[in-house]
Amino acid sequence: MMAAIGLAACTLATPPQRQWTVPVPTSTPVPTPVSLNRTLDERVLQAELQALFVALYERASSSVVHITTRTQVFDFFRGIVPNEGTGSGFFVDAAGHIVTNYHVIAGADEIEVILADEMRLPARVVGADAYTDLAVLVAEGIRPEQIRPLPIGDSTALRVGMIVAAIGNPFGLDRTMTTGVVSALGRTIEREDGGVIGEVIQTDAAINPGNSGGPLLNLQGEVVGVNTSIRSPSGGSVGIGFAVPARTLQRVVPELIAKGRYDHPWLGISAYEITDELARLLKLPVRRGLLIAQVQPGAAAERAGVRGAKQRVFTRSGAVLLVGGDILVALDDRPIATRDQMTIYLENNKRVGETVVLSLIRDGQPLTLTATLTARP
């Protein structure tokens, strides 16, 4: 398709007649060597960038594995039938541990990994965590020379616009590489169970079904994220993909290897998100924060002295509100307005056994308490 070229129109006015006017010749611009140099520089840059991507793929692709899973599902007409899924993973250490997404292996009866040399090996789950959508596998019978771990990079150093590459097995096409940029940082995405994953990387590198669990790499070949999901009306890539950041991987994966699980820090409260309407209805002293309705027995909040609701209030619509409890407005001096903000802050900044400072309002007066975080049941 040819692009239409528009010409700007101009109006020519007839100049007034003058006698003895000597026309001044118009000088012709002389091309300078700059344009030639720029062309040469661009060619050199393109060649260097191309060589960089080729080297990146050759170095990293052998560390990526193709994961297939099999489950037994019930069909009304055929009874119990096998169902197969596919995903990606990558070696993370010299011991042969493979990182992938939790949703790739969730509920699987059999797991198989296909290595770069096409060898197929059965695999077992070492540890898994649904909240961060991470899991660790190990392949049975793998040889040391087949293990090529990828280095883990610093995802906190990422900036929007940085070039990244994704390697995985979209639609079963082994070790496919796509490239793009970091489109946004600090995104929040919703899991299938309704929970959220926070501080996620958004990229326009093409991510499709089968890419899940594969690495998102910087130009140094370091893992900066684990590709986990896409947002698409069609089910295929439209340039909106998400990856769990390497910072989360570095925190969670060692625990999965050591204990098979990751203990999530937990305050143990149920709360309403304060809106303008709720603040007016209950005559609250603040317009944003969490109105604590219930405090779980034995949890961090109860041990710190946080108070839940004192009474019930019926709204005009017939809904029941538990009111009179403390209002949580900040964690470690960071304002908190939603339950997701509370959960994401604790997940990304705290561990079980660490303390967090709670900024509360009780009976209209500010109050500060320190809670030692317990593990979520």
Catalytic residues: 103, 133, 212
Residue found by looking up tokens 């998100």 in the block: 273
Q: Own/partner pairs for 261-264, CB < 8 Å, 24+ apart?
A: 261/127, 261/128, 261/129, 262/127, 262/129, 262/131, 262/132, 263/351, 263/352, 263/375, 263/376, 264/131, 264/346, 264/347, 264/352, 264/375, 264/376
Q: What is the largest CA-CA distance in the chain?
A: 104
9: enclosing H helix or E strand: none
The structure tokens listed for 72 are: 């037994």
For residues 122 and 110, give the distance between their C-alpha atoms in angstroms, rounded to a whole number: 8
Place of tokens 């961060």: 132
Sign of CA dihedral 263, 266, 268, 272: negative
Compute φ and ψ for 47, nearest 5 degrees. Answer: -65, -40
Whether 66 contacts 91, CB under 8 Å: no
Q: How far apart are CA 210 and CA 30, in angstroms?
A: 56
